[in-house]
Amino acid sequence: MSDNTYKDLLNYYREEEINNLFRSYYHRCEIFLHSLVSKRGIEKRGLYIHDTLFDNFMLSFLSDLPRIRNFHGIENLNASKLTAYSCFWFARWQPLQITNNSNDYNCPNIMFALSLIRDDCCLQCDGLSDSHKKEIKGFFKELHRYFMYRRYDPQIIELSLDSFKHGESITRT
């Protein structure tokens, strides 16, 4: 895809697929913002989804997927790869914006990206011991620090996801 336009995406996706993915991610953002506000007991003032940045996130994410499929010669991408690329582009474009100088929000874009990773990694984490939950919390705290202060790319995120999943499978056996 040379110039990454919506028209280019229609060569790889049906319009319905694009709309469904767009709505799904947008809805996840809305739910995330609502939970962020309600968990912290603060007003939503100044925290919103910037539509143009969100569009750019989706365009970048959806443009990368055919490129990855072609490069690897595969039809379907695994969940870790999809999550890694969505997190990368979300953190890069930062569509969750703050209009005031409030310290109520600490990097909502990174927190959202981590929520995507948490959803991918921890769907089967019910019934874990308190010490295991503490280790998982530590893992996500370290990922948050990494996103804040280190260089990262989709491959590093994917490696982190796969390492976490392999560690989980070893722990459960």
- Give the pLDDT score at 1: 42
- Whether 99 contacts 48, CB under 8 Å: yes
- Note the pLDDT of residue 2: 44
Q: Collapsing DSSP states into helix, strand and coil, what is residue 145?
A: helix
The terminus-to-terminus CA distance of the chain in angstroms comes to 44
Cα dihedral sign, 47-50-53-55:
positive
pLDDT of residue 129: 77
Q: Which of 2, 27, 26 has its CA nearest to residue 12? A: 2
What DSSP string describes 68-104?
A: HHHHHT-SS--HHHHHHHHHHHHHHH--EEE-S--SS
Taking 50 as the pLDDT cut, the residues of the chain under it are 1-2
Which pLDDT score is estimated for 107? 85
Check residue 47 and give its pLDDT. Answer: 82
d(CA 26, CA 55): 10
Among 140, 133, 135, 145, residue whose Cα is nearest residue 118: 140
